[in-house]
Structure 1
Amino acid sequence: MSFKIAIIGAGSVGFTKKLFTDILCVPEFKDIEFALTDVSEHNLGMIKAILDRIVEANNLPTKVTATTNRRKALEGARYVISCVRVGGLEAYADDIRIPLKYGIDQCVGDTICAGGILYGQRNIPVILDFCKDISEVAETGAKFLNYANPMAMNTWAAIEYGKVDTVGLCHGVQHGAEQIAEVLGAKSPKELDYVCSGINHQTWFIELRLNGRTIGKDELIAAFEAHPVYSKQEKLRIDVLKRFGVYSTESNGHLSEYLPWYRKRPDEITRWIDMSDWIHGETGGYLRYSTETRNWFETEYPQFLEAASKPIDPARRSNEHASHILEALETNRVYRGHFNVKNNGVIANLPQDAIIESPGFVDRFGINMAAGITLPEACAATCMASINVQRMSVHAAIAGDIDLLKLAVLHDPLVGAVSTPEEVWQMVDEMVVAQAAWLPQYADAVPAAKERLSKSKVKTREWAGAARRSVRSIEELRAEKAALKQAG
C-alpha cells in the first residue's frame, strides 16, 4: 500500500513518534509517506531526525518529509492527523493564571472551564483553516483525525463548519478500562468487556463484564476502595461512582474541573485531590508537566535520538486509536474503539448536534457507531451542562461574538460555582486581551475590552491556587529519575 499521512502539529515530538511507530507496526504500511508540518521549524527538525533514524534503523522504504508550509504537507494526503496546541505554553499559562485571579482553580483547563473555552477560541479558526486546505488539496474524501483539545469543540467545528470527514480521538476510555481491570484482579485488560459512552472526558462505563460476568456498582466500589493506590489517588472519582452508580473515564484532576462541586473552595480542593502526580488534581498540574516535559526534551534530545535507533516492536504498539483505524480502513481488519463523532441519535438522551464519544466499529466501509445507547440520567445531566457550554463556545468562536463567549463561560459548571457574573465578564475581557494574538475573530472586540478593563472596579487577587507546585529544574528531574531507576 502507498498513501500519504499528514501530521499537523508534528512538533509534539513524543506523541508524533508514538503515532509514527504505531502506524509502522502494520506490515502493509511500510511504503507510505509521512508529511510533517508545524509552525516551529526547530521542532520539525528534531522530530524529522528522530523519524529518519527509526526508518534507517528498521531498513524501511517509508518516506518522511517536513515543512512549515501546511498546505504543501496536505497535498494528496489521505489522512490528516492534528495534535496542535494553538498559542503553545505561553497562551496556556494565561488559561490557568488569569482564572486563578477570579478564584477558578483548574487542574488541566483544556476541555471546558475558563481555560478550555478560551483554548477552543484559539483553536477553532485554525481548525477551519485546516479543513479548507483538506478540502482543496488533500486526496478526495480525506479523513481528518483530531487529537487536539478541546476535543468536542474542535471536532464540532470541523464537522459542522469545516464540512470535512472528521473523527476525534482520545485515550481516556482505554486508561479507565485498564484501571477497572486492575482493581478487579484481571490478568489482562482484554478480560474486561464494557460499554463506555458520553462525551469526551465525561464518558461513563455503563456496562461492565469481566470474563462474561456482570460487574455491579457495589463490587466496583469495594474493589476501588480496597486498592492501595487508586483509593488515595482517585478519591473524587470514587465519590462520583458511589453517587452516580457508574465510573467515569476521566482522571481525578480532569473530572474535578468539569463538575461544580469539588473545586469550588480551596479547602474542598485539598480534600479531594492527591498530589502524588499532577493528573490527580494539582493546580495547573498539566501546565507544569508540559513545561517540564518540553524542557527535558530540549535538554536530553541526544538520548531521544539515540533511542530511535531501536527496532520497532509490534508487541509494544500502543492503544492510541489512529493506527488501528487506518489499519481497519485500509485492510478491512475490523477494529472496535471509542470515537468522537456527531451524535445523530447514537445516544438517545443527548442532543443530536452534540459531539459524543461512544463505541464504534471500523472496517473498509468506515466508522460505524453502535446506536441506541441511553445514559443514566445523572450522567446525561452532567454531559448536558458541558454540551450547552461547548455549543455556545463554538458559535462564539465562529462569529467572534464576545458577548456569547461570556455567556458560555458564565454557564460553565465550575465557573458558575465560583464566580459572579461581573467577575466572569471582566475575566473574559482580560483573557481575550491577553490572547489577542491568537484570537483574530475578536480583533474588533479588543479595544472595547481594554477600555472596560481600564475602568473596572471588580476586585481580583494574585493567587497561586490551592495546590500549586513549581516547575522543576532539569537537575531536579534528573535526580528524581535516577531515584526511581534505583528503586525499581
Structure 2
Amino acid sequence: MSFKIAIIGAGSVGFTKKLFTDILCVPEFKGIEFALTDVSEHNLQMIKAILDRIVEANKLPTKVTATTDRRKALEGARYVISCVRVGGLEAYADDIRIPLKYGIDQCVGDTICAGGILYGQRNIPVILDFCKDIREVAETDAKFLNYANPMAMNTWAAIEYGKVDTVGLCHGVQHGAEQIAEVLGAKSPRELDYVCSGINHQTWFIELRLNGREIGKDELVAAFEAHPVYSRQEKLRIDVLKRFGVYSTESNGHLSEYLPWYRKRPDEITRWIDMSDWIHGETGGYLRYSTETRNWFETEYPQFLEAAAKPIDPSKRSNEHASHILEALETNRVYRGHFNVKNDGVITNLPQDAIVESPGFVDRFGINMAAGITLPEACAATCISSINVQRMSVHAAISGDIDLLKLAVLHDPLVGAVSTPEEVWQMVDEMVVAEAAWLPQFAHAVPAAKERLSRSRVKTREWAGAARRSVRSIEELRAEKAALKQAG
C-alpha cells in the first residue's frame, strides 16, 4: 500500500516514535510515507533522525519527511494525527501556577478544571487551522486522529466547527482494563471482556466479564483493596468505585481533579493521593514529569538514537488505537476499541452534542459505534457536569468571549468547590494576560483585563500546593534509574 500520514506536533518525540513503529508493524504499510511537522525545527530533526535510523535498521522502503511548513506536510495526506501542546511547558506552567494562587490544586490540569479550560482556549484556534488545511490540501475525506488534550474540547471543535472527519483517541480505557485484569488474577488482559462508556477521562467500566464470568462491584472492590500496590495508589479511585458501583478509567490523580469532593481542602488532598508517582495525585505532577522527561531526552539523546537501530518487533506493538484503526480501514481486518466521537445516540442519557468515549468497531466502512448505551445515573451526572463546562469552553474559544470563558471556569466542579465568583473572575483575567501570546481570540480583551487586575482587591497567596515536588536534576534522575536497575 502507498498513502501518506501527516503527524502534527511530531516533536513529541517518544510518542511519535511509538506511533511510527506501531504502524509499521502492519505488513501492508511498509511502503507508506510519514510527513512530520512541528513548530520546533530542533525537535523535528531529532525525531526524524530516530525514525530514519529505524527505517535503515529494518531495511524498509518507508519514506520520512520533516518540515515546519504544516500545509506542505498535509498535502495529499490520507490520515492526519495531532499530538500538539500549544504553548508548550511555558504556558502549561501558568495553567498550574496561577490557579494555585486561588487555592485550586491540580495534578494534571489538561482536560477540565482551570488549567484544562485554558489549555483548550490555546488549542482550539490552532485545531481549526489544522482543519482548514486538511479540507484544502489533504486527500479528499482525510481522517483526523486527535491525540491532543483537552480531548473532548479539541474533538468537539474539529467536528462542529472544523467540519473534518475526526476521531479522538486516548489510552485510559486500555490502562484501566489492564489494572482490573491484574487485580482479578487474570493471566492476560485478553481474558477480560468489558464495556466502557462515558466521556474522555471520565469513562466507566459498566460491564465486566473475566473468562465469560460476570464481575460485580463487591468482588472488584475486594480485589482492589487486597492488591498490595493499587490499594495504596488508587485510594480515591477505589472510593469512587464503592460509591458509584463502577470503576473509572482514569488514574487517581486525574480523577481527583474532575470531581468537587477530594481536592477542595489541602488536608483532604493528602488523605486521598499517593506520592509514589506523579500520576497518583501529586500537585502539578504531570508538569514536573513532562519537564524532567524533556530535560532527560535532550541530555540522553545519543542513547535514544542508538536504541532506534533495532528490528521492529510486531509482538511489542502497543495498544494505542491509531495503528489498529488504520489497519482496519485499509485492510478490513476488524478492530474493536473505544473512541471519542459526537454522541448522536451512542449514550442515551448524555447530551447528544457532547463528545463521548464508547465502544466501536472499525472496518473498511469506517468507525461504527455501538449505540443505545445507558450509563448508571451517578456516572451520567458526573459526566454532564463536565460536558456543560466543555461546551461553554469550546464556544468561548471560538467566539473570544471572555465573559463566557469565566462562566465556563466558574461552573467547573473543582473550581466551584474551592473559589468564589470574584476569585474566578480575577483568576481568568490573570491567566488570559499571562498566556496572551497563545490566545489571539482574546487579544481585544487583554487591555481591559490588565486594567481590572491593576485595581483588584481579591487576595491571593503564593502556594506550592498540598503535595508539590521539585523538578529533579539529570544527575538525580540518573541515580534513581541506576538504583532501580540494581534493585531489579
Deviation, 1:413, is 0.1
Deviation, 1:232, is 0.1
Deviation, 1:75, is 0.1
Distance in 2, Cα, partners of 1:242 & 1:317: 34
After TM superposition, the structure 1 = structure 2 runs for residues 328-407 of structure 1, keeping only pairs within 5 Å, are: 328-407=328-407
Share of identical aligned residues, percent?
95
Distance in 1, Cα, partners of 2:327 & 2:144: 15
Deviation, 1:20, is 0.1
Deviation, 1:341, is 0.2
String of CA shifts for 1:148-194, please: whole Å, max 9, x gaps: 00000000000000000000000000000000000000000000000
Match of 2:479?
A: 479
SS at match of 1:372: coil
String of CA shifts for 1:401-441, please: whole Å, max 9, x gaps: 00000000000000000000000000000000000000000
Distance in 2, Cα, partners of 1:182 & 1:459: 47
Distance in 1, Cα, partners of 2:44 & 2:222: 48
Deviation, 1:64, is 0.1
Distance in 1, Cα, partners of 2:482 & 2:334: 42
RMSD of aligned C-alpha atoms? Answer: 0.2
Say how many residue pairs are matched: 488
Distance in 2, Cα, partners of 1:291 & 1:139: 36
Distance in 2, Cα, partners of 1:302 & 1:397: 40
Distance in 2, Cα, partners of 1:90 & 1:327: 37
Match of 1:84?
A: 84
Distance in 1, Cα, partners of 2:301 & 2:208: 42
TM-score, reference length from structure 1: 1.00
Deviation, 1:482, is 0.3
String of CA shifts for 1:202-225, please: whole Å, max 9, x gaps: 000000000000000000000000
SS at match of 1:341: strand
Match of 1:218?
A: 218
Match of 2:435?
A: 435
2:144 is the alignment partner of 1:138 = no
Distance in 1, Cα, partners of 2:38 & 2:461: 37
Deviation, 1:100, is 0.1
String of CA shifts for 1:305-338, please: whole Å, max 9, x gaps: 0000010000000000000000000000000000
Deviation, 1:42, is 0.1
Deviation, 1:278, is 0.1
Distance in 1, Cα, partners of 2:469 & 2:317: 33
Deviation, 1:358, is 0.2
Deviation, 1:18, is 0.1
Match of 2:290?
A: 290
Deviation, 1:107, is 0.0
Deviation, 1:349, is 0.1
SS at match of 1:35: strand
Distance in 1, Cα, partners of 2:407 & 2:13: 36
Distance in 1, Cα, partners of 2:215 & 2:343: 27
Deviation, 1:36, is 0.1
Deviation, 1:118, is 0.0
Deviation, 1:259, is 0.1
Distance in 2, Cα, partners of 1:217 & 1:146: 33
Deviation, 1:273, is 0.0
Distance in 2, Cα, partners of 1:265 & 1:132: 44
Structure 1 unaligned blocks of 5 or more:
none
SS at match of 1:486: helix
SS at match of 2:360: strand
String of CA shifts for 1:262-312, please: whole Å, max 9, x gaps: 000000000000000000000000000000000000000000000000100
Deviation, 1:67, is 0.1
Distance in 2, Cα, partners of 1:137 & 1:382: 40
String of CA shifts for 1:1-48, please: whole Å, max 9, x gaps: 000000000000000000000000000000000000000000000000
Match of 1:111?
A: 111
SS at match of 1:54: helix
SS at match of 2:258: coil
Match of 1:65?
A: 65
SS at match of 1:173: helix
Structure 2 unaligned blocks of 5 or more:
none
Distance in 2, Cα, partners of 1:444 & 1:251: 38
Distance in 2, Cα, partners of 1:307 & 1:79: 28
Match of 2:186?
A: 186
Distance in 2, Cα, partners of 1:22 & 1:346: 29
Distance in 1, Cα, partners of 2:372 & 2:409: 32
Distance in 2, Cα, partners of 1:205 & 1:145: 24
Distance in 2, Cα, partners of 1:58 & 1:43: 23
SS at match of 2:274: coil
